Structure 1
Amino acid sequence: MLLYIMIISNMMVDRHHFIPRLVSLEKLLAGKSHFLFGPRQTGKTWLINKELAHCRIYNLLRSETFALLSREPQRIRQEVGSSEQFVVIDEIQRLPQLLNEVQLLIEERGLRFLLTGSSARKLRRGGTNLLGGRARVSYLHPFVMKELGERFHLQRALSWGLLPSIYLSTAPAEDLQAYVGLYLAEEIAAEAAVRNIPAFSRFLTVAALCNGRLINYAAIASDAQVAASTVRQYFFLLRDTLIGWPLPCLGTTVKRKPLSTDKFYFFDVGVVRHLQGGGALRLGAPGTGEAFETFLHHELRSFCSYRGRGSLHYWRSRSGFEVDFILDERVAIEVKAKRNVSARDLRGLRALREEKLLEHYLVVSLEENERRVDGLHILPWRRFLDDLWDGRWEV
């Protein structure tokens, strides 16, 4: 069942939009308790208020709720009635000690919990084990094209990203600036994640400029004026706070030896473009290629996440041949933000095809019509995404 949520925030957003999401909280809780993680403003709280408004909800962003449960975590056990089946704790990372009460209620009374948060870092740091298998973990991502339907506009997505409150905003540039400031203030400074906020802020800018590239810790450390060991810690922090994800290299090729270095992609093209100093983007202008690739990375990662299985890699040989994405070790995907894909653009796919490992070799582009060249499949981006979400490339 598709969920319909109204995106409302303190930002300047059109309040009349109802957008279907692919995550169903009822389905998540049908089998087991769940952690639902996602970056800030992906819509977790509004999903809760829309679908689970009839349940008991503890929102730890409310100061009075936070203060009360900080003093008396056992209040949850005392307040939950015997007839209740589901309980929601929003922003659970703010009070990791509540997981002891949650575990007791799961074991003794069979309750199912939805535990949401923008980071699992504090939960792990506090010595908790995410309930030792008593709850599954799912993620909520920014919008994908399938959710937006006719409301999706590629140029807007590449310019401002797909965070719901920003994609629908009437002032996306100002709201992106506020979002990055909120991340530094609440995810990093308030949680004491790092001691040197100016150094982390410099790193964040340099890391954004390296988005979608091989991670070179020494070069980033030099540009950000911090130690290489600190850069490694900062990258772990980006992943823990769900701001970005490493992309490993496919290592099974034989004829051409692959690299072993990860790439790194930020979770949202609008956020990374803001950190890079970008603004509104015209298709074909400088920066279109990287933005288009980051957008497709988001769609592919979200697809793997929402179906609950699958893998995503890139491939690059030591001799320099490269393919942007490998889905499920079956589908090779080269991304080209071009209206006319040339023979030169197919070199990486042809080199990888010599390994005879994969089933499909695709180029996703800005071309308007589908075509085949020497067995390689050139697809318009919208057709590729429609096929992806319809399951064409699944086993």
Structure 2
Amino acid sequence: MNDNRPWGEASALVARAATPVLERVLRLMPVVVVTGARQTGKSTLVRSAPSLSSHDYLSLDELAIRDQALRDPESLVIRSPELVLDEVQRAPDLLLAVKRVVDEEGQRRKGRFVLTGSANLLLMERISESLAGRAFYLTLWPLTRRERLGLGETGLWSALLDAPIEEWPDRVRAADTPREDWRDASLVGGYPTPALALSTTEGRAAWFDGYVATYLERDLQLLSDVAGLGDYRRLMLAAALRVGTVLNQAELARDVAVPRPTAHRWLNLLEASFQILRIPAYSVNRTKRLIKSPKLYWSDVGLARHLAGGEPSGAHLENLILCDLMAWRDLVTPRPNILYWRTVNGEEVDFVIEHGRTLVPVEVKATPRPSYRDARHLLTFLAEYGDAVRGALLLHDGDEVFWLARGVLAAPWWTIV
């Protein structure tokens, strides 16, 4: 790639599960859009992709490039026959110029443009409409555990979905991944620098402080003019303290002392910038009344723990598992849904994988010795939707793989992710 700047990123030498997907879609679509939170390694991903070695690289972080993108986007996008445009959320009208070039040239030139951005461009109506039918969207999440270990992959979710349930124990036992304390894994998170390059608690805390400051002072302002940054940061803290809970916007607004519409708008901004995740409920109602509000998590559990402070809880292990599920979800075709299930009576399953007509409920327990009682909500789910359920997983903090109940496999979390 025609870019003389040093990489200088902790993710430079890490194999990413997204790389083969990026290589494949570059041969299918004229535009590929790589989005994700800042500092997940998007620039490194595109700069290191073999198929992009001949593309010119332009970053809108550079003042001269950004000025041209704002003043004369048409001249910028025709500078090179193959172009990577980094941080395009800094000049959204640039995407309209990309659309015009693609429409003039037709669909024959695959991989003509690669765009990266730290905001979810699909949530920006004008932008998503301008590239409809012309672009493939690839989300790059923070590093998975297996990427941190150098394996360049997500967890075993596809292997389990592709196998009959009788083969699940062998698939899990064959996983060649080392045991890890989930408290340590959730502390470092998946952003490449704190996960790979910083070995002290103080160093990681300083990095996360700088990350939040840059997010508030620069990235957020590109999405919306937020005047009350102090209140916004308090909302981030309140959200970090609610990891794994059913989202109650009225309660959140009351705790932060802002109007409910403001809290609603700010949550949308946190989601659009890939900071939080709102997991929808599985709401197919057969015999039970179900909760339909989303559950709240963070796209990086390390950042959530930094904001919240204090000791880790089982919700942070849930969040760790979810981060891997999300990274896997966005690399699979057709794309699965990641949901949760909860009845009005309090019966709950942490996650439900919906892939086509197949369901896999997943319960997460921060215990080394799960009991039959720990599987009771999974068994309720199996009884409710048994004809559609491939099998149920209970992920725990121990070392043993065993059948906890009929149709419920207990497995160490670190063998799956």
TM-score range, shorter chain: 0.7 to 0.9
Give the TM-score taking structure 2 as reference length: 0.82
Structure 1 residue aligned with 2:270:
238
Q: 1:217 aligns with which of 223, 241, 249?
A: 249
Go from structure 1 to structure 2 and tell me whether the alpha carbon gap of 1:71 and 1:193 turns closer, same or farther (over 3 Å shift).
same
Go from structure 1 to structure 2 and tell me whether the alpha carbon gap of 1:294 and 1:133 turns closer, same or farther (over 3 Å shift).
same
Structure 2 residue aligned with 1:50:
48
Structure 2 residue aligned with 1:291:
316
Q: How far, CA to CA, are the matches of 1:320 and 1:245 in structure 2?
A: 22
Q: How far, CA to CA, are the matches of 1:372 and 1:128 in structure 2?
A: 46
Q: 2:390 aligns with which of 336, 359, 374?
A: 359
Name the aligned partner's letter for residue 73 of structure 1: P
Structure 1 residue aligned with 2:17:
22
Structure 2 residue aligned with 1:98:
94
Structure 2 residue aligned with 1:392:
none
Structure 2 residue aligned with 1:320:
346
2:398 is paired with a residue of what secondary structure?
coil
Q: CA deviation at 1:126?
A: 5.6
1:166 is paired with a residue of what secondary structure?
helix
Farther-moved stretch of structure 1 (322-331 vs 150-159): 150-159
Name the aligned partner's letter for residue 92 of structure 2: P
For structure 2, the residue ranges without an aligned partner over 5 or more in a row are 1-5, 152-177
1:301-320 equivalent positions in 2, closer than 5 A: 301-308=326-333, 309-320=335-346
Identity %: 27
Q: CA deviation at 1:249?
A: 1.3
- Aligned residue pairs: how many? 364
Q: CA deviation at 1:191?
A: 4.5
What whole-Å deviation, never above 9, does each CA across 1:184-210 have from its counterpart, x for those lacking one? 111223544423212211111111111
1:333-352 equivalent positions in 2, closer than 5 A: 333-352=362-381
Name the aligned partner's letter for residue 376 of structure 2: R
2:185 is paired with a residue of what secondary structure?
helix
What whole-Å deviation, never above 9, does each CA across 1:201-251 have from its counterpart, x for those lacking one? 111111111121001111111110011121111111111111112111111
What whole-Å deviation, never above 9, does each CA across 1:6-47 have from its counterpart, x for those lacking one? 9734xxx6x9x7210011233221100111111000101112
Q: How far, CA to CA, are the matches of 2:8 and 2:196 in structure 1?
A: 10
Q: CA deviation at 1:91?
A: 0.8
Structure 1 residue 162 and structure 2 residue 190: aligned?
A: yes
Give the TM-score taking structure 1 as reference length: 0.86
Q: How far, CA to CA, are the matches of 1:133 and 1:190 in structure 2?
A: 26
Q: CA deviation at 1:383?
A: 2.4
Name the aligned partner's letter for residue 294 of structure 1: N
Go from structure 1 to structure 2 and tell me whether the alpha carbon gap of 1:77 and 1:275 turns closer, same or farther (over 3 Å shift).
closer
Structure 1 residue 137 and structure 2 residue 118: aligned?
A: no
Go from structure 1 to structure 2 and tell me whether the alpha carbon gap of 1:368 and 1:241 turns closer, same or farther (over 3 Å shift).
same
Contact 2:396-2:411 within 8 A present in 1 as well: yes
Structure 1 residue 76 and structure 2 residue 105: aligned?
A: no
Go from structure 1 to structure 2 and tell me whether the alpha carbon gap of 1:333 and 1:123 turns closer, same or farther (over 3 Å shift).
closer
Q: How far, CA to CA, are the matches of 2:33 and 2:55 in structure 1?
A: 16
1:249 is paired with a residue of what secondary structure?
coil
1:156-195 equivalent positions in 2, closer than 5 A: 156-170=184-198, 171-189=203-221, 191-195=223-227
Higher relative contact order (CA 8 A, sep 6+): 2
Q: How far, CA to CA, are the matches of 1:30 and 1:125 in structure 2?
A: 26
1:325 is paired with a residue of what secondary structure?
strand
What whole-Å deviation, never above 9, does each CA across 1:283-334 have from its counterpart, x for those lacking one? xxx4241211100011111111111411111111111111100011510110
Name the aligned partner's letter for residue 416 of structure 2: F
Go from structure 1 to structure 2 and tell me whether the alpha carbon gap of 1:365 and 1:68 turns closer, same or farther (over 3 Å shift).
same
Go from structure 1 to structure 2 and tell me whether the alpha carbon gap of 1:7 and 1:297 turns closer, same or farther (over 3 Å shift).
farther
Name the aligned partner's letter for residue 287 of structure 1: P
Q: CA deviation at 1:71?
A: 2.2
Go from structure 1 to structure 2 and tell me whether the alpha carbon gap of 1:149 and 1:160 turns closer, same or farther (over 3 Å shift).
closer
1:97-116 equivalent positions in 2, closer than 5 A: 97-110=93-106, 111=109, 112-116=112-116
Q: How far, CA to CA, are the matches of 2:93 and 2:411 in structure 1?
A: 50
Name the aligned partner's letter for residue 264 of structure 2: R
